């Protein structure tokens, strides 16, 4: 069974997609064709969206499911004229919030992800530049860092640092554990001043082997025995030095970032 799902928004569509997708993951065995229609901020675009919803219904033989976060009531009414199950993700909660806050909302479109404020932009770019400048141990000086990720090569440090920067504005450096560090079974002296900021990432050796193999096929670097040894040593090192750590193998970047911020008590720098 295939069902078409629309995410309709007057802004980026990120809120509609995020909640809508979360809801869909609760239903197994249905194949969803997902279509994003962002920036629906006038009648013409709303009518075009209605046409797309009608066409999907004709094609699928079933009405489409529509996750809607458009704020303007007239445009919502227009969307409601379509043959679709239109779920209005904002409307359900605005009334109780108005009652609770004892204030009327100020409807403005596309606010949710309009992080165009200079302060927010600067915080985010600053964190991104920090991550790029302190990637892979190139500048092991972490005074300004909120967190420093430590782990063997290809354990997921760089994507996590960049995600922390772009999503939370958090400045993260990262340092790859070298064979020398692992043989000595101690943190390098250069990392000691920032011990409280360290966070370890580990990974299943088989998965590490697979990732490294794609990068440098049949190298010593990718050899499964090498991967097993490095991972075992890195985890022993984290335990010995009291560095909190997580395995990235069955954990998405979102989950790693969220868990790490919680464990280290770091607040996001912007919304």
3-state secondary structure 170-226: CCEEEEECCHHHHHHCCCCHHHHHHHHHEEEEECCHHHHHHHHHHHCCCCCCCCHHH
Interaction residues for a copy of itself, span 209-248 (CB under 8 A): none
Interaction residues for a copy of itself, span 99-128 (CB under 8 A): 100-101, 103, 105-108, 110-116, 118, 120-121, 124-125, 128
CB of 20 vs a copy of itself, minimal distance in Å: 9
The smaller minimum CB distance to a copy of itself, of residues 117 and 193, is found at 117
Asked if residue 152 lies in contact with residue 208, where contact means CB atoms within 8 angstroms, the answer is: yes
Alpha helices (runs of H) in the chain, residue ranges in sequence order: 14-24, 43-60, 73-80, 91-101, 118-133, 157-163, 179-184, 205-215, 224-241, 253-264
CA-based nearest residue to 135, from 108, 156, 114: 156
CB of 93 vs a copy of itself, minimal distance in Å: 5
According to DSSP, the residues that pair with 33 across neighbouring strands are 4
CB of 243 vs a copy of itself, minimal distance in Å: 20
For residue 47, which phi and psi values (nearest 5 degrees)?
Answer: -65, -40
Asked if residue 69 lies in contact with residue 10, where contact means CB atoms within 8 angstroms, the answer is: yes
CB of 10 vs a copy of itself, minimal distance in Å: 11
Region for 179 from its dihedrals, namely left if φ exceeds 0, alpha if ψ lies in -120 to 50, beta otherwise: alpha
Of 25-33, 187-195, 223-231, 234-242, the segment contacting a copy of itself by CB under 8 A is 25-33
Of 94-102, 139-147, 175-183, 237-245, the segment contacting a copy of itself by CB under 8 A is 94-102
Residue 153 is given by DSSP the state T
Q: How many residues does the chain have?
A: 271
Interaction residues for a copy of itself, span 141-200 (CB under 8 A): 158-159, 162-163, 166
CB of 101 vs a copy of itself, minimal distance in Å: 6
The smaller minimum CB distance to a copy of itself, of residues 91 and 233, is found at 91
- Write each residue from 39 to 58 as x if it is in contact with a copy of itself (CB under 8 A), else as -, in one continuous string: x-------------------
Verify binding: residue 97, a copy of itself, rule CB under 8 A. yes
The smaller minimum CB distance to a copy of itself, of residues 65 and 76, is found at 65
CB of 183 vs a copy of itself, minimal distance in Å: 28
The smaller minimum CB distance to a copy of itself, of residues 12 and 153, is found at 12
């Amino acid at each position: 069974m295939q069902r078409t799902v629309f995410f309709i928004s007057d802004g980026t569509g990120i809120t509609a997609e995020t909640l809508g997708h979360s809801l869909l993951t609760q239903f197994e065995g249905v194949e969803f064709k997902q279509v994003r229609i962002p920036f629906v901020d006038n009648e013409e675009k709303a009518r075009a969206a209605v046409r797309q919803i009608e066409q999907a219904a004709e094609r699928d033989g079933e009405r489409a499911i529509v996750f809607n976060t458009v704020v303007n009531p007239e445009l919502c009414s227009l969307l409601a004229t379509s043959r679709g199950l239109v779920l209005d993700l904002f409307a359900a909660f605005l009334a109780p919030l108005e009652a609770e806050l004892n204030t009327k909302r100020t409807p403005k479109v596309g606010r949710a992800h309009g992080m165009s404020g200079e302060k927010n932009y600067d915080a985010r770019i600053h964190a991104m530049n920090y991550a790029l400048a302190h990637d892979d141990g190139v500048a092991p000086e972490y005074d300004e860092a909120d967190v420093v990720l430590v782990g063997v090569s290809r354990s997921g440090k760089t994507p996590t640092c960049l995600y922390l920067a772009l999503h939370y504005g958090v400045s993260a450096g990262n340092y790859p554990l070298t064979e020398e560090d692992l043989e000595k079974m101690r943190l390098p002296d250069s990392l000691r001043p920032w011990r409280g900021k360290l966070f370890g990432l580990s990974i299943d050796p088989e998965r590490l082997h697979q990732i490294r193999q794609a990068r440098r096929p049949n190298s010593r670097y990718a050899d499964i025995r090498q991967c097993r040894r490095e991972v075992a040593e890195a985890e022993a090192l984290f335990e010995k030095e009291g560095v909190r750590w997580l395995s990235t193998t069955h954990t998405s970047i979102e989950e790693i970032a969220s868990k790490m911020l919680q464990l280290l008590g770091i607040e996001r720098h912007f919304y």
